[in-house]
Structure 1
């Protein structure tokens, strides 16, 4: 039942909560990293790293949202969820974010194709680096050729993930 004595709450001029603004991107990256615990059985790496994809999508969609150091805690969470050696995603994601910052400082403007190219380079760097870290920590002879389908699948999935992050971002900033 609506109380008629209360003044109506104005919809204009309201701001979303601070947790909604700052927490939504972090939670989505963490949920993307948690997708690796799904029981998917495969002979070779087939599932794209959704945590990395969502991190890239947020970073390229909203460059002012995060600093480069955010790769450390999110990478640690991804390492714990994916089973990679602890520190591999922390290092790779932080270096990737620093590289994206360096590229953005040189570009005057970016188009969608440039974002996809930046994401492609970052995905190849992170997946090849993950293979390198797995190999040097005793993960066995993993060949880069086995990871190529995962790289291709991840690169092709990037525009879809960006679109979903843009949809979530609209909800995030909505009052």
Structure 2
């Protein structure tokens, strides 16, 4: 393997890492653990990864990969196809609009931002699934 091919491979792996990590976290979050009541306290690992990469390096996690991960999550969880994709893309776009504000802020500010994002995502997910089923879930 030549030096340039090795360099290209290294660059490709570095750029694929955020997508791979987010995909892995999506799969880890869906592993059935059979612990009573765990669903109520399970963190939204996929949303955490999307938030992290959207704030710090959105160039490494493009919108198409966020869409793909959302559709995959919907497929694996049985949620109506597109719900997670719409939520993740909306969050991704919203963070993109606020990225200048969030960059360089303290951990507490980033954490507060994630708290708002996760609450909004949960509320949007509930609303979209309720609308899909035409009943309050």
Structure 2 length normalisation: TM-score? 0.76
Instruction: Give the equivalent residue in structure 2 for 1:173.
Output: none
Matches within 5 A, 1:31-110: 31-41=24-34, 42-43=36-37, 45-106=40-101, 109-110=104-105
- What SS does the aligned partner of 2:123 have? helix
More helix as a share of residues: 2
- Supply the distance in 1 between the matched residues of 2:80 and 2:30 (Cα, whole angstroms): 16
- Give the root-mean-square deviation of aligned CA atoms: 2.7
Instruction: Give the equivalent residue in structure 1 for 2:115.
Output: 120
Q: In the superposition, relative to structure 1, how do residues 109 and 46 fare at CA in structure 2: closer, same or farther (>3 Å)?
A: closer
| Structure 2 segments unaligned to the other structure (5+ residues) | 1-5
| Rg larger for | 1
The answer to whether the Cα contact below 8 Å between 1:85 and 1:133 also exists between their aligned partners in 2 is no
The answer to whether the Cα contact below 8 Å between 1:36 and 1:81 also exists between their aligned partners in 2 is no
| Structure 1 segments unaligned to the other structure (5+ residues) | 1-13, 143-175
Q: Which has the higher contact order (CA 8 A, sep 6+)?
A: 1
1:129 aligns with 2:124: yes
How many residues align structurally? 130
Structure 1 length normalisation: TM-score? 0.61
- Supply the distance in 2 between the matched residues of 1:58 and 1:108 (Cα, whole angstroms): 12
